[in-house]
């Protein structure tokens, strides 16, 4: 039993690492724009499919294909924001929310129409698990996933605390009107947020496809989990959602020891509800 618990805890950290990458961008959008961008999940799918095209169809190296996938997804995310979300900002967060729901259904339909319902996978070899004390715990792919997540945390922390754009982002997150009054270029910060959030979604989608598969429902099935992680950590708290994502990933994967795997999402929302009953603003008291 201890061995199984240890293995599922490691799986949970891997799951949480991918969720962390996806949730960072979702939270950054909420922090600056004050609406729940439901279409964020579809960017995971776009990142996975664009990488798949370059890697499998064109035969490119997976790393190069991933970089191209991230760039393309970032441009798609920025185009959607500029073309659809920013013109709707003056109508308030509720209109933006419904717009994002519409964008989600449109993107999902387009992706499913183009790609079809087939489940695909990257051309990566099946790697043996690394044993610790004779227990198979983790593969090199999973180590890479955790390393990318940890690296993204360090990178974002440095950007937010040591760069002008990071300080401007924090000012805009606190009070948009005051930030504009102090001469901060909020349009430039918004562009940074959309590009960075879309890039992180693409990375999350690629890594998720690496350990599962490439399919049209990849991001569709993740958006509620992303929302749960953001609320659990505290909407508006960038560092809080990081902790919330890792915690949620571990609880979901450890939970399948005791419950059927089909209840993973239910486990996530049960944890979120329990935490909100105690701390209505999330673990780290966001918005």
> Would you write out the chain's pLDDT as a tens digit for each of its 287 residues?
677 888 889 999 999 999 999 999 999 999 999 899 999 999 999 999 999 999 999 989 999 999 999 999 999 999 999 999 999 998 989 999 999 999 999 999 999 999 888 889 888 777 777 777 677 778 888 999 999 999 999 999 999 999 999 888 988 888 887 778 778 888 899 999 999 999 999 999 999 999 999 999 999 999 999 999 999 888 878 888 899 999 999 999 999 888 888 888 888 888 888 888 888 888 776 55
Give start and end residues of each alpha helix (H) in 83-139. Answer: 86-88, 93-115
In three-state secondary structure terms, 224 is helix
d(CA 101, CA 107) in angstroms, rounded, equals 10
* pLDDT value for 68: 97
- Report the half-sphere exposure of 124 (CA within 13 A, side-chain side): 24
- b/e burial code for range 66-95 (CB count within 10 A of at least 16 → b): bbbbbbbbbebbbebbeebbbebbeeeeee
pLDDT of residue 287: 53
- Domain 2-278, architecture per CATH: Orthogonal Bundle (1.10)
First-last CA distance in the chain: 39
- pLDDT (0 to 100) of residue 285: 66
Q: Tokens 């799986």, residue?
A: 11
């Amino acid at each position: 039993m201890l061995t199984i618990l240890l293995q599922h805890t490691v799986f949970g950290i891997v799951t949480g690492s991918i969720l962390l990458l996806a949730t960072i961008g979702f939270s950054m959008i909420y922090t600056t724009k004050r609406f729940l961008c439901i279409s964020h999940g579809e960017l995971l799918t776009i990142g996975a499919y664009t990488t798949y095209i370059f890697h499998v169809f064109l035969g490119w190296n997976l790393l190069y294909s991933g970089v191209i996938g991230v760039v393309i997804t970032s441009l798609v995310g920025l185009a959607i924001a500029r073309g659809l979300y920013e013109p709707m900002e003056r109508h308030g967060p509720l209109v933006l929310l419904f717009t994002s729901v519409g964008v989600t259904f449109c993107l999902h339909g387009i992706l499913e129409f183009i790609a079809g319902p087939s489940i695909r996978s990257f051309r990566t070899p099946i790697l043996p698990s690394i044993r610790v004390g004779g227990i198979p715990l983790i593969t090199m792919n999973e180590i890479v996933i955790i390393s990318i997540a940890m690296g993204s945390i360090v990178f974002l922390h440095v950007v937010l605390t040591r760069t002008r754009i990071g300080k401007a982002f924090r000012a805009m997150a606190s009070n948009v009107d005051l930030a504009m009054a102090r001469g901060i270029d909020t349009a430039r910060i918004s562009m940074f947020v959309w590009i960075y959030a879309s890039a992180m979604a693409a990375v999350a989608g690629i890594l998720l496809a690496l350990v599962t598969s490439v399919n049209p429902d990849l991001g569709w099935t993740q958006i509620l989990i992303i929302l749960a992680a953001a609320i659990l950590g505290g909407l508006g708290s960038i560092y809080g959602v990081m902790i919330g994502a890792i915690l949620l990933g571990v609880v979901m994967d450890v939970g399948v020891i005791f419950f059927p795997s089909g209840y993973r999402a239910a486990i996530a929302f049960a944890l979120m509800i329990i935490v909100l009953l105690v701390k209505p603003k999330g673990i780290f008291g966001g918005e």
